[in-house]
Structure 1
Amino acid sequence: MTSSTQLTFPPQLRVPATYMRGGTSKGVFFSLKDLPIKAQVPGAYRDALLLRIIGSPDPYAKQTDGMGGATSSTSKTVILSKSEQKNHDVDYLFGQVAIDKAFVDWSGNCGNLSAAVGAFAISNGLVDSSRIPQNGIATVRIWQANINKTIIAHVPMTQGQVQETGDFELDGVTFPAAEVQLEFMAPADAEGAMFPTGNLVDELAVPGLGNIKVTLINAGIPTIFVDAAAIGYRGTELQDAINNDEKALGLFETIRAHGAVKMGLIKHIDEAQNRQHTPKVAFVAAPLDYQASSGKRVKATEVDLLVRAMSMGKLHHAMMGTAAVAIGTAAAIPGTLVNLAAGGGNRQVVTFGHPSGVLKVGAEAELIDNQWQVTKAIMSRSARVLMEGWVRVPEPIV
């Protein structure tokens, strides 16, 4: 380049943002009003902006030139605004950003990042000050805009500030923090039955595998539950056992695609590639001793069942919060594969083992007019701000 050459490229955009951990996930949080005007409405520009911020699509699958962490748990974005819904404080929109594709999936919620929404909303003036105690617990009413559901976050406060530090430990997160209790209200699909086929257990025809028993449920997030033994697993597997096996990954995607059709989420299996975030696939098993990814020993006597779940084509390192809602709900309903793996019977709380350790989730379900309904699911997570300021991003070309 000679001294007379002038730069013809525009400068980077400077967008206010907060990088937060919520549960076992982390993502980039934005106030809607802080986004560029063209990104304040859904569409191609917003998607392109978020993709570039996160660093996707990346053929190297590292997201080196962005804020993403090259896993489904760390390739996430959140947009928040004062709620337009009656009796709610904040509207929460979640975007799952694909790593190797130019695609943002808006079809579902992130239960883990839900734990950070209340704290962000309080700290960024999205919750009326009259609802925030100086000390104690702030109750933040969240409208989850992807799935049109209510989440209640109980956020600890100290001297008018969100209390982030504490001694609550969450398997899958290295360090302790303050506990945030979440209530997922009426988490089943409001537009259809919680069990879309009307059955607690179905047979699903899977090419190369034959007919397998599945529980198909819309609660927290659409989920396909399979018995671990039916697909050759024990339920004690860690990430490497699945994610380094291309044949296994292909099998799970085949199950997911055919299950999505049976659930009525898509019309043809080819449509699954454009709906990566949902449904989830999880396999369940009765309790066994195993060693978690941290080296921690999990004893069979500590858990009711074992669950492993796939997220964005890979085995999740712990458990998605929305999938935990599905697990808790299915466990509360006698006869589902989840309930049977946990020993059957009636239960309002279940503790399950996942690759990073254990998690407890509660759910209240009842049979009304021969239809199962769940009033709420409850779990505890933690959250904290990792960095705040501005994210720099080249202007998207759309």
Structure 2
Amino acid sequence: MRRCIISLAVFGFLFTTTVIWACSVPVFRYALERWPADKYSAVVFHRGDLTPEQQKLVSHFDQEGTVGQKSANVELKLIDLDAEPAREDLELWKAQESDTLPLLVMRTPLPAPVPVGFWSGELSEENIARLIDSPLRQNIAKQLVNGQTAVWVFLESGDAEKDKAARELLAQELKRMEKTLKLPEIEQADIEQGLVSVAPDSLKMKFSIVTCSRDDSAEQYLTQMLLSTENDLKDFDSEPMALPVFGRGRVLYALIGKGINPGTIEQACRDLTGPCTCQVKDQNPGTDLLMSVPWEKLVTPATQDEKELPPLTGLTSFSNSEAAKNDPASMAPLADQKTNPDNATAEKQTAKEAGQSVEVAESVSTQPSEAATIPAEDSGSRSLKFKPDYTLITLAASVIVIILAGSYLLLVRKQ
């Protein structure tokens, strides 16, 4: 009898937790609305007091500074090497093998795939600006906000023939996935619970590809960031990679070289478009990119007009520097969100004039398509709040009552 009671209790626990933590909303949409981007760590090593000029640079990471104003998912950590730093901080400093001070070290969100950091260098306005933002990242964000299921970043190897074959295969398979895969039917209970803010029939199966050259100076930091989403990607510098980005800039995983094949592409697409089996972000695969995007304002209901990403104003002093003159597109405002058949041509022309080698993102579909719009509330943009599902609470309570009642009856019979 005791075993029977225990079995009922375990069943009831597993049943209720499974119901609570699973939902019918597609993973890519749930991630966009519900998973805040994890924060990168900007570690600044120095000795003694910072000079006024250095303090000004550090202030860019304040809430009122450039990082806060641009909504970049990064936080600052100051380490004074003369003040007996913690052992792990000292090890991080030694791992850089640099005499530069102050030294800025960038680390991916914990648990960091690359614990020693993916980049280190001089603490300067130029480095801060390029680390937190870039034209390609803004392009990716624009497409995700406009309803793209996922944006695949194709990182070239440098071998033209190998890159061409892999990219054509990727484009071909993504077209096939758009035609063959079906989005799950969203249950009414999940809609009432507020787990999705748009009409289910407005969700589309739509993939696109953006190409990034490893030699592109404007995307140098993004390239290093992509290679740090897993701990061994830098070992494959001679192979092309395809990395699907979804949600709020989350990289699922990388397909490498011959791993870019119909089977792996389909599996990744299924992982992104299937129902969200676990709402807990940390229990899902992927690593977030460092991006300057006010996601909370862009993915919540606001107006019937399409959302528009704010312009890349950048750092005032940096925008006037020689580096900005050489690379004006890195601080240029985003194009209007409304889909226009001429947009791709205009973006490519802009990139060409700016001297960049990054290929502007283009849809895998051969026909122009309308960007998904995000409906609005009369009260304007606001953060989504979790609404308790009283149906689930009632169901869980019922299971507990049944278990207790069964236990009572068994005890009575035994007596």
Please give the TM-score of this superposition, normalised by the length of structure 2. 0.26
Please give the TM-score of this superposition, normalised by the length of structure 1. 0.27
Rg larger in 1 or in 2?
2
Q: Normalized per residue, which structure has more strand?
A: 1
Q: Normalized per residue, which structure has more helix?
A: 2
